[in-house]
Amino acid sequence: MRCPECGAMETRVIETRTADEGKVVRRRRECPVCFARFTTYERVEEKRVLWVLKKDGRREAFDRSKLLRGISKACEKLPVSLEQIEDITCRIEDKLRTQGYGEVSGNDIGELVMSELKELNKVAYVRFASVYREFTDIASFQKELARLSSER
């Protein structure tokens, strides 16, 4: 595995753990050249393509990294670990793939993300909802916050 800091070709594994009920292997690595530490994840590559139906009617292949980026952006600067974000992403992807359909709507993915974020961190949930539901003014935020408060 190439070091992301200095580009050295050889790194050593310091710790290995399974995640997401054994479906993912998480490895902490260290570069012997620059001593940088980083985490890698190893998972089985899915052969069956999952298609996402977008709001405008287009179809595109499911992109796990896009899902991970969206969740990470919502959790930015919050006390949410990379491992928690990875676990949420794995759970959502598993749900989508085990439904047995070759297609899933973007709305279904958004709702799954919001459901997971609501349990994890309310601020991350509101951040994601503001983009997903396209909040255009303060009233939209207030309405969502009121709904969130009433659920307590």
The CA-based angle 123-87-66, given to 5 degrees, is 75
Contact 123, 113 (CB under 8 A): no
In this predicted model, what pLDDT tens digit does every residue of 101-127 receive, in sequence order?
789 999 999 999 999 999 999 999 999
Supply the pTM of this predicted model.
Answer: 0.70
Contact 46, 30 (CB under 8 A): no
Average pLDDT over residues 80-105: 89
96: which residues sit within 8 A by CB, 6+ positions away?
50, 62, 104, 108, 109, 112
Contact 29, 39 (CB under 8 A): yes
- Going by DSSP bridges, is the β-strand pair 51-53/103-105 parallel, antiparallel, or unpaired? parallel
pLDDT at site 24: 86
Domain boundaries, the chain: 1-44, 47-150
Instruction: Give the chain's radius of gyration (CA, Å).
Output: 18
- Least confidently predicted of 24-28, 135-139, 148-152: 148-152
Start-end of H helices in 9-132: 64-75, 82-98, 106-120, 122-132
Higher per-residue pLDDT: 151 or 129: 129
- Least confidently predicted of 18-22, 69-73, 143-147: 18-22
Average pLDDT over residues 85-98: 91
Count of positions (residues) in the chain: 152
In this predicted model, what pLDDT tens digit does every residue of 19-38 receive, in sequence order?
877 888 999 999 999 999 99
pLDDT exceeds cutoff 70 at 51: yes
